[in-house]
Structure 1
């Protein structure tokens, strides 16, 4: 009879505890080991490895499968699974193991205090490092866009923009990619009440032309604005959607127009922007909240 064929007995637990500290113990597989100090507790690492072995595609695993996925011996894996069963984090039915709802306790505190800008930060930092350009996130609040995150080189600073800065939506790539998704009646109301005041000689100030630009943005899924907000600054933005497909924010890459032409910026940044937006959308879905202006976070 194998370990997968019967419920573990108490005396086996003691034998497995010896296995954990004996020479036959096998370390958890780690594709990217991090430096570990003298404080490092390998048993904690192994317990977490068991929890992470379960996936949405395979929510139930045998002991052999858990051992294989974690890189442990079956004796070692069994000890950790039994402990997680005792703690209420893992259940077992018909010789197969599964995670129990109690495992959500491990992440609840983190999720309850996590803000959307904090959630976005690592993704924006990675994108900025990848492109060596300034990256930001913004939300539409009334007729303005509000910056909720900003990372990157300081060579491109538009009008002293910081987190919390508000700008007219029509003149920014952030704003256009979100205005383009408004229902027709709301867009018409916006265009009727909003003075399209020029910021540079390139700013679109004709409502009919702006409406056409927004239709193009909606069709292509991104907005590119070249020196309409500030001379010498070009930016490109993509939408961020919630689980229902509603646009709730946007991500933007900005650069100096002498560094990259609009066409070059599109070639360099559009797909990385879209990839980053998908990662942010995934995390927003897991968090279950919508981005909001800084004053409401």
Structure 2
């Protein structure tokens, strides 16, 4: 069994590195690959890009700010906001700074209520949280990010307020590493060739070769431990959820305070619970 890691060193989290603007691909640029496709609804795609531009850090934005963030023209952003406002999904109290409206929740509810895995996961996580008094999550892979589809929180440990629909980078999270490790080898290599390893803390993995080794270990061990790579003081453990065909479609995760939850304790006490939950979820995929 792996030995416990050394106690966390006292360190101040590094600020998120800024990606070179010249290398950043805007939502508008990502839509260029569909140019010439007669069945592709560009207007719908632009509207979705505007919706996804809002976040916890940018809850209100002007047309100009949205234009910069999405790469869409001001005219295109204005039309998207006009439509979203008319339908009740967005609005601007002062006529300038737009924000999303509660009606947007109906979209997420439609997904969670119609997705077997999401609807099945929530009561399982709630049962574990009630029994163990810890926070658990289930996530799937979307591009290079993980997306939370179920979550329970006992004690908030992170500076980021995570909820269903939240996205985090795969490379520095235990759930992301589980989901990436069980991809086809060629998909893993494509990911490693494009991923930008932004240092979020002094412990964040810094080289693609090291990340490749970590992913091999995850696949061999059947679980991933991420020790303060996403946020100082946060330690997490994740296991895969397999479909009947043997494909990993989701991951179950435990997150806790690093000083309170040693790695050895996570592996010996909590790993069996996570694996049992993953097996239970797999049943709903049959």
Q: Same fold (TM over 0.5)?
A: yes
| Cα distance per residue 1:213-263 (max 9 Å; x no partner) | 110000000000010000000000000011101000000000001211111
**CA shift in 2, pair 1:243/1:225, >3 Å:** same
**CA shift in 2, pair 1:122/1:191, >3 Å:** same
| 3-state SS of paired residue (1:171) | coil
The 5 A counterparts of 1:71-220 are 113=114, 115-157=116-158, 159-220=160-221
**CA shift in 2, pair 1:269/1:241, >3 Å:** same
The total of aligned residue pairs comes to 174
Report the Cα offset of residue 166 of structure 1. Answer: 0.8
Report the Cα offset of residue 118 of structure 1. Answer: 1.4
| 3-state SS of paired residue (1:266) | helix
| Cα distance per residue 1:163-198 (max 9 Å; x no partner) | 111111011000001110111111111011110111
**CA shift in 2, pair 1:114/1:167, >3 Å:** closer
Whether contact under 8 Å (2:205, 2:229) holds in the other structure is yes
Structure 1: where are the runs of 5+ without partners? 1-111, 286-297
| 3-state SS of paired residue (1:153) | coil
Rounded to whole Å, the distance in 2 between the matches of 1:130 and 1:219 is 29
- 2:262 paired residue number: 261
| 3-state SS of paired residue (2:196) | coil
The 5 A counterparts of 1:244-255 are 244-255=245-256
| 3-state SS of paired residue (1:252) | strand
Rounded to whole Å, the distance in 2 between the matches of 1:133 and 1:200 is 23
The 5 A counterparts of 1:212-231 are 212-231=213-232
Q: Which structure would you say has the larger RCO, counting Cα contacts within 8 Å and 6 or more residues apart?
A: 2
Rounded to whole Å, the distance in 2 between the matches of 1:126 and 1:150 is 12
Whether contact under 8 Å (1:222, 1:236) holds in the other structure is yes
TM-score, normalised with respect to structure 1: 0.57
| Cα distance per residue 1:263-287 (max 9 Å; x no partner) | 11222210110001111111222xx
Rounded to whole Å, the distance in 1 between the matches of 2:200 and 2:206 is 10
Rounded to whole Å, the distance in 1 between the matches of 2:161 and 2:153 is 14
The 5 A counterparts of 1:36-75 are none
| 3-state SS of paired residue (1:138) | strand
Q: After the TM superposition, which segments of 4 or more aligned residues of structure 1 sit over 6 Å from their partners?
A: none
- 2:31 paired residue number: none
| 3-state SS of paired residue (1:170) | coil
Rounded to whole Å, the distance in 2 between the matches of 1:194 and 1:159 is 22
Bigger radius of gyration among the two:
1
| Cα distance per residue 1:130-155 (max 9 Å; x no partner) | 22110000000011101111103033
Rounded to whole Å, the distance in 1 between the matches of 2:140 and 2:227 is 20
- 1:280 paired residue number: 281
Report the Cα offset of residue 114 of structure 1. Answer: 5.8
CA RMSD, 1 decimal:
1.4
| 3-state SS of paired residue (2:285) | helix
**CA shift in 2, pair 1:184/1:158, >3 Å:** farther
TM-score, normalised with respect to structure 2: 0.59
**CA shift in 2, pair 1:209/1:114, >3 Å:** closer
Structure 2: where are the runs of 5+ without partners? 1-112
- 2:236 paired residue number: 235
| 3-state SS of paired residue (2:284) | helix
